[in-house]
Each structure stands twice: as C-alpha cells, then as structure tokens.
Amino acid sequence: MKKILKDKRIIVVIAVVILVLLFLNFNQRMVLLSKLRGQKKELEQEVAQLEATHAALQTEIAYAQSDEAVEEWAREEASMIQEGDVPIVILPPSELVPTQISQPETIVDEIKKWEIWWELFFGD
C-alpha cells in the first residue's frame, strides 16, 4: 500500500513539474507573441507610409514626363518662347533718381524765465 502511495506521489510530483514547465513555456510564447504583434503593427505602418510615398513619386514621374511639364520648364527656366509670343524684357532704370526726404519744421516757442516762475507759483 505504501508503494502505491509513493508511486502516486511521484506521479503527482512529475505531473506538477511538467505542468510548471508547460506554463513557463506558454508564458514565454505569449511574451514573444506580444512582441511580434507590436513589430507587425510597426511594419504595417511603415509599409503604408512607403506605399503613399511610392504613389506620390509615381504621380511626380507621370507629370515630369508630360508635355505640360516640358512646356512649363521651357518657358519658366529656359526662357524659351513659342511662335507668336511677344517677349517682354524688363530693364532696370538707367539712372537712380534721389528722393528728398522732407523734414517737418519744428516750431519752438521761447518761454521767458519769469513766465516759468510765474506758472510755477501762480499757475493752475
């Protein structure tokens, strides 16, 4: 009878050890799963940004290869004209005309010293 109890205890201890090891392994896997989900989310955001950049660059390439872009460059940067256009060249003025700055006249009322003393003693 004691042998059966010892065998049952050994089996229970082995089962508990196996369950603890399985629980630790499960916990490690859950931590790893959490990290991988975070990385997946970051990579999905990066992919979305890269796709948006790709679409913007494709739009710029399509415009750069269009006739409108070539004409805009030719007219604005290369200073080219088409037949029938009248070129206008703005020249700077040949002589600079100096402008005179008028200063307002300052009117100074001369006050005599006795008026200052009079105002000091008998003024409002």
Q: Are residues 86 and 92 in contact, defined by beta-carbon separation less than 8 angstroms?
A: no
Give the mean model confidence (pLDDT) for residues 86-109: 76
Q: Does position 108 have pLDDT exceeding 80, yes or no?
A: no
pLDDT more than 90, % of the chain:
40
Phi, psi torsion values for 12, nearest 5 degrees: -65, -45
pLDDT more than 70, % of the chain:
93
pTM of the model: 0.44
